[in-house]
Amino acid sequence: MTVEFRLDNNVLPKPLADVLRPELASLAAEIVDEIRAKIPNYARPLDGPYGKSIRAGVQHALTLFIEQIANPDASAQKCYEVHQKLGQNEMREGRSLDDLQAAYRIGARVAWRRMMRLGKRNGLSSAVMSQLADAVFAYMDKLASVALDGYLEAKATSAGALETWRRRLLGMLLQTPPAPTAAVAELAQLISWPVPEKVSPIAVHPLPGTGHNQRKPTLDGDVLADLDGIEPRLLVPGEVTDGRLAAIRAALPQCRLAVGPCVRLDGAAYALRWARKALTLAQQGVLPDRQVIRCEQYLSAVLVHSDDRLLATLRDRLLAPLRALTVKQRERMLETLRAWLDVRGSVPDMAALLDVHPQTVRYRMRQLEQSLGQLLHDPHQRFELELVLRASPRRREQEVALPTQRR
């Protein structure tokens, strides 16, 4: 970042620089002494790096001010860097913004007192002195602003603040509608997180009986994490490789992980929702009870269960004719119906799949024809029926097919 300071030098005469230059060393010392005398937090020995940085800040400020009177094109970059670091050091030293801003105000007052004496001694006009006063205080305001930026930057990148910003960025990336690209880029730059084209969200859930992991997990630096919320989640740049997944599992050994599909950045919120649904389905027994679930292997199940109430309504409507059967009869009919859909109605194949005689298959199919009728032959309803049968474990089909007195 480059910032150039420019004094309004239309009125200030360039020879004024020659008047001020001999005063530079003693004026710098006077400003440092006054700051230490007026602000208790600065009243400490100046022999070490701390003292050198304070003196360097004052010295660079006065030198640049004088040089820009003589040459308005003099670069301010070095002075900017020094005062930015001053602001950063103040934050790391634990001092407040009030002390920092007060130091610049004191510096401006001391410098102006000296220049008033020099003006009288050298017979400077009131117009020149007025312009000089405006230039001194405007210049100090600029330096104070640069130091303030350094202070805030250091505060934003401190350990605690950095973690807060990382969680905030994660929240922005997973919100709907997506956050503005410029806002994401600005916050990502603040925490030095390269913005990827694609990401993979991971939904996290503590395994039953383990409670919350009290140890702070060690994750790769490019993995954004929020593990303290109601719905813990991670965001991994790009694909989640086997190596990456092994590291995450080692960091979160007491958690079930559902890895969402790798998607474009603006689709991260949707992919996380699918991963969260996969976790729920695993807890319900619809998906395999594993510690790690790769969502991309079960997208059809996630799709079918995207609206459980609608699915239940469809299931009740389609399987209603079987409610009059006994539990054992329903079980046989549903197994036969699934086999019929799997092998597209081939009696020999159904018999082999069900391990029964072909004549038994024909008998059951006649019963299904009587119960379900046209439903078996209508392509649209047959598709719906297959969705229902594949959506849940068999026991759930049987439970839903029972009479629902509670309704």
- Confidence bin at 96 (pLDDT 50/70/90): confident
> Concatenated DSSP letters for 334-368?
HHHHHHHHHTTT-HHHHHHHHTS-HHHHHHHHHHH
Q: Note the pLDDT of residue 271.
A: 95
- Confidence bin at 48 (pLDDT 50/70/90): low
- Strands 233-237 and 198-206, how do they pair? antiparallel
H/E/C letters for each residue in 118-142?
A: HHHHCCCCHHHHHHHHHHHHHHHHH
Which range has highest mean pLDDT (6-20, 57-71, 174-188, 190-204)? Answer: 190-204
Average pLDDT over residues 7-23: 78
Q: Return the minimum-mean-pLDDT range out of 175-179, 209-213, 338-342.
A: 209-213
- What's the distance, Cα to Cα, between the start and end of the chain in Å? 68
Q: Note the pLDDT of residue 401.
A: 40
Structure tokens at 374: 């046209």
Give the total residue count for the chain.
407
Structure tokens at 237: 């740049």
Q: Return the minimum-mean-pLDDT range out of 34-38, 159-163, 400-404.
A: 400-404
Q: What is the C-alpha to C-alpha distance for residues 88 and 36, in angstroms, rounded to an integer?
A: 19
Q: Would the pLDDT of 243 be above 80?
A: yes
DSSP letter, residue 216: P
- Report the percentage of the chain scoring pLDDT > 90: 24
Q: Would the pLDDT of 367 be above 60?
A: yes
pTM over the 0.85 mark: no
Q: Note the pLDDT of residue 387.
A: 81
Q: Note the pLDDT of residue 400.
A: 39
Q: What is the C-alpha to C-alpha distance for residues 371 and 221, in angstroms, rounded to an integer?
A: 60
Q: Which pLDDT tens digit goes with each residue over 105-123?
A: 999 999 999 999 998 998 8
Average pLDDT over residues 82-108: 83
Q: Note the pLDDT of residue 124.
A: 87
- Confidence bin at 406 (pLDDT 50/70/90): very low
Q: Note the pLDDT of residue 1.
A: 39
Task: Note the maximum CA span of the chain.
Answer: 122
Chain-wide mean pLDDT for the chain? Answer: 83
